[in-house]
Structure 1
């Protein structure tokens, strides 16, 4: 059973190489190729649409952030753009899904969390200590609340990374499992399989957007806690 599971998840491992240099992770840079287009080409429907999306996210993140952190909304909107481009690139055939690996997701969440924590503890030390004990906590429960709040803060980058990677790999795994049964099916059942694959692809497109939005919003909420 363990061997079967290892072979099943091995389809998500990097495999394309030239001179022993992995090319799979190069897909993480493809998303950046779509972004500068707005600055050097004439406005198009695509650029106007993405500008509208970015401005909407900028306004929404500003509503969640403290007045002293308004500039962070641009960083978080850019983070959303990077994740959603990588998620959609992973839906294309024969393209490596970098956002389904913890190496990629942790590299996004961990530096952001470390920066937030360092800024909070250096600039607002008293507030950070006060945040460990919610208001109205009985004195007897204060040590336990400090421990619980500390653990919840430490695992935040891990939960962000695992949530994004798990949601991306789950849908891709289901698409792969259903697609591998196609050669053994009859023509009638194959039609329903293709139809179900199209529905799953639409669902995965929605998941790609939702998970990018959830990642950015949770990062915004973590930033807003630093007063």
Structure 2
């Protein structure tokens, strides 16, 4: 019996060990087939997705981006989407629904972009704080607004991913708790609703992984493009 509605997202487990976080390592099982000598259907699918994402991220980063930097965001996308899909299986903890993981992904990336930008493109970073055609009277306010929006970027990135994963899982948990006392008609309605929600959650898992990777790519392109 759940003592708390949010206990499904609690990363604690028996034996005083954080066994739920093992779900994050299950991603490695999905990656191992890509190293097979004989190409499989999964390997071909991964190569197709990687090539498509590489072309898209390369365009977003621009010509001034460092060589191979697009692969960082491709790896980020694959890691998040596999963790999101792992959480759709029963009795597997969704690591991407916890702020510990999402913030650990967003904060180091953002901090790296800031350090690289201020050390190598200082003038561009200062110019980015004041958009073009800004009136002189509004420049101090624009600097303050741009600075605040820049600082909260890792928070918005991590909270967006966490909140979208938590919301769907909570709704599915609430509906699943009603099946024990439901009548036959209501039970069938709940099962159909759960199937639709599972389909929606699969789409959300893909979209949120893509949004996270694209936004980090755009943040990196702001640092390197000048």
Task: Tell me the TM-score normalized by structure 2.
Answer: 0.95
- Structure 2, gaps ≥5 residues long: none
Q: CA deviation at 1:41?
A: 4.6
**In 2, Cα distance between the equivalents of 1:132 and 1:14?**
39
SS in 1 for 2:166: helix
2:17 corresponding residue in structure 1: 21
Any residues of structure 2 matched to 1:60-79 within 5 Å, and which?
A: 60-69=56-65, 70-79=67-76
Any residues of structure 2 matched to 1:208-223 within 5 Å, and which?
A: 208-223=205-220
Q: Find the partner of 1:163 among 160, 164, 180.
A: 160
Aligned alpha-carbon RMSD (Å) = 1.1
Deviation larger for 25-34 or 151-160? 25-34
Q: CA deviation at 1:113?
A: 0.4
Any residues of structure 2 matched to 1:36-185 within 5 Å, and which?
A: 36-69=32-65, 70-185=67-182
SS in 2 for 1:190: helix
**In 2, Cα distance between the equivalents of 1:216 and 1:195?**
32
Contact kept, 8 Å, 2:80 with 2:209, in 1: the verdict is yes
SS in 2 for 1:183: coil
Instruction: State the aligned residue count.
Output: 221
Q: CA deviation at 1:123?
A: 0.4
Deviation larger for 92-101 or 30-39? 30-39
1:3 corresponding residue in structure 2: none
SS in 1 for 2:26: helix
**In 1, Cα distance between the equivalents of 2:208 and 2:84?**
9
SS in 1 for 2:180: helix
**In 2, Cα distance between the equivalents of 1:159 and 1:146?**
19
- Structure 1, gaps ≥5 residues long: 1-5
Contact kept, 8 Å, 2:13 with 2:20, in 1: the verdict is yes
Post-superposition CA distance 1:2-27 (Å, at most 9, x none): xxxx8111221023233x22111111
